[in-house]
Amino acid sequence: MGTNSIFNNSFQMLNNVIDKNTQNNKKIPHIETKNYPDGRYEGQIINNKRKGKGKFYYSNGSIYIGDWKNDIREGKGIYNVYNGDKYEGDYKNDRREGKGVYYYHRGERYEGDFKNDLPEGKGKYYFNNGDRYEGDFIYGNNEGKGIYYYKNGDKYIGDYKNGLKEGQGIFYFNDGGMYVGQYKNDKIDGKGIFYGKNGDIYKGYFKNYKAEGIGVYYFHDGKKYVGEFKNNKKDGKGIYYYNDGRIYEGIWKNNKKERINDFHLVNLD
């Protein structure tokens, strides 16, 4: 997304007029130069106020080229920031508001809606590592519903809050695996289902990406474990159903059988 040809041409024409006026030292109607506490303005002035097309050189090195109304930026504009960032798009009441593109000097880019100088609404953010986010923004952060595309082929679809995965989501792993469930503080955390690339399925609780708490693990060869997990391993009370009909009911420690015991397991459903 970027400015259209008419938008670019209007700024180029303004620049040509201003540059020619400066070089020839001639006064052209409606094109004036005026100093302000924070910089210098070159462009159209009506009733002693910036109005129409103009260029403003800020004292910190930034430059704005675009529309003005009642002495403030209003309409279409291009803002070259002193640190190498660049914005192209809409302005309202002297702030970035509407549709626009913001180019960060570190090689990242945001395209979409702006409000009060920040990304807000629908947009796309391109990271310099090849990742991409598309979805909702509030106060400059991913918030609401969104899709995150990883460079390695992974993909997340779900809820965001304050820039982090939070709530319900689906994560597609590039190896064919998939997770459907809850997220907390940008991590798999809560109740969910993991589908392994080999056909194994885990249904239960997670903590910091790992199976933790009560769960059911279905092996692709027909075996099944129902019980407690810790740090992604069978740990605690559990029942193991072999595919030949045998059943082991007892205590597990670090994925190994410890002792047989009688107990009652909580129903996960």
pLDDT tens, 178-234? 999 999 999 999 999 999 999 999 999 999 999 999 999 999 999 999 999 999 999
Q: What are the φ and ψ backbone dihedral angles of 222, each rounded to 5 degrees?
A: 105, -15
As a whole number of angstroms, the distance between CA 138 and CA 160 comes to 10
pTM summary value: 0.83
Burial class (CB in 10 A: 0-12, 13-18, 19+), 67: buried
Per-residue model confidence (pLDDT) at position 258: 86
Q: Which residues of the chain have pLDDT under 70?
A: 1-30, 260-269
Q: Which two tokens stand for residue 251?
A: 């205590």
Residue type, 234: K
As a whole number of angstroms, the distance between CA 62 and CA 50 comes to 18
Q: Can you tell me whether residue 15 is helix, strand or coil?
A: helix
Per-residue model confidence (pLDDT) at position 239: 96
Per-residue model confidence (pLDDT) at position 7: 42
Per-residue model confidence (pLDDT) at position 264: 47
Per-residue model confidence (pLDDT) at position 17: 45
As a whole number of angstroms, the distance between CA 89 and CA 2 comes to 8
**Closest residue by Cα to residue 204 from 232, 177, 164, 185:** 232
Residue type, 4: N
Per-residue model confidence (pLDDT) at position 31: 87
121 within 8 A of 138, measured Cβ to Cβ: no
As a whole number of angstroms, the distance between CA 226 and CA 224 comes to 7
